[in-house]
Amino acid sequence: MTTRTCRLPVRAAVWLHLAIVVLILPAPLDAHHEAIFGPQSTTLVSHRRFVSTQYYFINEGRAPAARQHSHVPVLTVSTALGDRWSVSASLPVEAERGGHERVTGVHDPVIGFRYFPEAGPNRVFITALTIEPPASNLEHRALGTGAGVVYGAERGHWSGIVYGLGRTEFSFDEGEKRGNRLFLGGGLAYETEPLPFSPQIGLSWERVARRREHDAIEEESNTSVLMIHPTLVKTFRQERLQAFLVLSLPAGQWSGHEGWQRFRVAAGLLWTF
């Protein structure tokens, strides 16, 4: 088995196994989108039944560390379980390029269990748990677990959300462990019929601890960054289909050279049913 530690932005992107998150808020909040990296994030989509396809391009690294860039498509499906519960599954694929390294493969799937308590009119509240069973040889064998929460509200043409998302793992390979991660953030969106797109802005603090390889801590692998996410969202077919484009840029950073974030670009479609 090939053992490998992923190198994606904030490494959130693949350590969480990547995926730009689409947080679609209910009723008039349907056009709200927020960028969170990692398939755990798709468990925070406010619709209980959906299919999404996402692609993003990720750039990271700072000299003397090698620069890395990755192409990451992700497929997610979700279905309802009763009135308050939903289960989702995400499958990320990565093609990474950096230095002399060329890696392509499928990552561990992410299974999400979501609960939707009553939050009141024009509001949404979601709590989520995730599990990542070891099913790929692209990275070291580990059982990943995570938890998240999101709250959103709408008033007039404006909508906003706040969220938190964390991830850890239990490694089956001695001396190997990806760093624990925590994302905290929020976003503001404006939507009105005369505009062809919904302009939005998001802000997130992303913290990823140093990882362990061959029983040694990789000192430059940590990430601590404040990211800003200008976003455009367009809905179709009575808001059942959504397209989005996101540019993520560091507004302030205290990362190691290897974990240094440069920029991320994401695009995707989400269909609710």
Q: What is the residue extent of each domain of the chain?
A: 9-272
The predicted pLDDT at position 99 comes to 64
Alpha carbon distance 66, 19 (integer Å): 23
Higher-pLDDT residue of 33, 130: 130
CATH architecture, domain 9-272: Beta Barrel (2.40)
Region 121-142: mean pLDDT is: 90
pLDDT grade, residue 22 (50/70/90)? very low
**Is the CB of residue 165 less than 8 Å from the CB of residue 10?**
no
- Rounded Cα gap, residues 9 and 13, in angstroms: 6
Among the residues of 45-203, which ranges form H helices? none
pLDDT digits (tens, 9 = 90+) for 54-75: 888 889 999 998 888 888 888 9
Per-residue model confidence (pLDDT) at position 32: 58
Residue 43 DSSP code: G
pLDDT at 34: 57
Q: Which of 37-41, 57-61, 69-73, 247-251 has the lowest mean pLDDT?
A: 37-41
pLDDT tens-digit series, residues 176-199: 999 999 999 999 999 888 888 899
Q: Reduce the DSSP state of residue 234 to 3 states and report it.
A: strand
DSSP 8-state symbol, 100: T
Note the pLDDT of residue 101.
72
pLDDT at 72: 86
The residues, any chain, with a CB within 8 Å of residue 238's CB and separated by 6 or more, are: none
3-class secondary-structure state, position 72: strand
- Average pLDDT value for residue range 85-96: 90
Cα separation, 152 vs 166, in Å, equals 19
Q: What's the whole-model pTM score?
A: 0.84
Kindly indicate the confidence band of residue 84, based on its pLDDT and cuts at 50, 70 and 90. Answer: very high
What is the rounded CA–CA span in Å between residue 262 and residue 9? 8
Cα–Cα nearest to 222, from 252, 260, 166, 251: 260
Token pair in block for residue 219: 């000192």
Q: How far apart are CA 199 and CA 201, in angstroms?
A: 7
pLDDT band at 3 (very low <50, low <70, confident <90, very high): very low
Contact (CB, 8 A) for 72 and 61: no
Mean of pLDDT over the chain: 84
Task: Name every residue whose Cβ is closer than 8 Å to that of residue 35 and which is 6 or more positions away in sequence.
Answer: 20, 21, 187, 202, 204, 229, 231, 246, 248, 266
pLDDT value for 31: 56
pLDDT at 103: 81
> Do residues 57 and 7 lie in contact, with contact meaning Cβ atoms separated by under 8 Å?
no
Could you tell me if 183 and 204 are in contact, meaning their C-beta atoms sit under 8 angstroms apart? yes
Contact 92, 76 (CB under 8 A): no
Which amino acid, residue 44?
A: L
- Whether residue 16 has pLDDT greater than 60: no
